[in-house]
Amino acid sequence: MATENNTLILKAPWVFPTVSPVALWLVALVAAWAVLGQLYADSIRLLLLWVPHLAKGLQMNILTSVLAIGIGTVLGLLVGALELSQARWINTPARWYVQVFRNAPLLVLIFFTTYVFPFEIKIGSIYLPFPDWIKATIGLALPASAHIAEILRGAVQSIPTPQWEASASLAFSRSQTLRWIILPQCVKRVLPPWMNLYAMITMSTTLASLVGVTELLESAKNASNTVNRTDFTILVYLAILTLFFAYCYPITRLTRRLEKKFSFH
């Protein structure tokens, strides 16, 4: 009985043609919107009027998420390297940095960077404006860097110790081993969690709306308050949900595929 079941399960993917889940989701989304289009033709027309405003918001989300992951990666690799150092006076502060920024709520960190940093920076006699969206980006980049430091440390520590010993016996120094032997192998292990982190940061960019950055969610809220109609409100929030899903789900799928692909090496 059990073995019969097993063979059935094993055969299933070949028996039925495999359809990519992404495609299925897209079909479902298009169908849902088509149905909505029939029911809410009027408010869809309104929604189309608001598309430029919403697109501007989305642009801000993408910009902040890319900047945050960029800054976070650079900073995180640095902190991760410090964490891997064998000198205690170097790795202890790095570990504290990671602990603090991983355990603080993101929203609170964004409040922190927005309200504690000045609104302009004085360099010599020039005043440079320091807009809220950059502060929010920093608020997102700080925890991102702590996560990346942890990802890096985890990846380096997941490489079997005999490799260190083998390279030491081949007269590689510690830094040479790290550079030429360990880190190249880490790339594969770091990539999937790094992409996951990017998806998470993208979703967190909505928090910037709470400190007055006009990103997608804030634009949607503006639109819904301005139009002030029940059906439009439903539609605009559903649209936001769909947009985020359409942006993040492919990343998640790809991450999972890479995870599977790399897991045997």
- Applying CB under 8 A, the residues found at the interface with other proteins are 2, 25, 28, 100, 103-108, 111-112, 115-116, 199, 203-207, 209-210, 217, 220-221, 224, 230, 233-234, 237-238, 240-241, 244-245, 248-249, 252
Report in angstroms how near the CB of residue 210 gets to other proteins at its nearest.
6
Residue 226 CA to its chain's centroid (Å): 31
115 vs 130 by CB, closer to other proteins: 115
Nearer to other proteins, 167 or 209 (CB): 209
Closer to other proteins by CB, 150 or 167: give it: 150
- Cβ-based nearer residue to other proteins, 178 or 235: 235
Q: Residue 71 or 106: which CB sits closer to other proteins?
A: 106
Query: Residues 6 or more apart from 96 whose CB is under 8 A from it?
Result: none
Least Å distance, CB 221 to other proteins, is: 7
- 3-class SS at 127? strand
Continuous H helices in 159-173: 161-169
Nearer to other proteins among residue 2 and residue 128 (C-beta): 2
Would you put residue 99 in left (φ > 0), alpha (ψ -120 to 50) or beta?
Answer: alpha
- The sign of the dihedral angle between the CA atoms of 49, 58, 231, 23 is positive
Q: Identify the CA nearest to 132 among candidates 51, 212, 43, 244.
A: 212
Is the Cβ–Cβ distance between 188 and 254 less than 8 Å?
no
Smallest separation (angstroms) from other proteins to the CB of 246? 9
Sign of CA dihedral 86, 89, 92, 93: negative
**Nearest distance in Å: CB 125, other proteins:** 27
Nearer to other proteins, 141 or 178 (CB): 141
Residue from 64, 54, 77, 103 nearest 202 by CA:
64
Instruction: Name the minimum Å distance from CB 100 to other proteins.
Output: 7
Single-letter amino acid, residue 131: P
Cβ 121 to other proteins, closest distance in Å?
A: 18
Q: How far is the CB of 198 from other proteins (least distance, A)?
A: 13
Q: Which of 29, 241, 253, 66 is nearest to 144 (CA)?
A: 66
Strands (DSSP E) along the chain, which ranges?
A: 120-123, 126-129
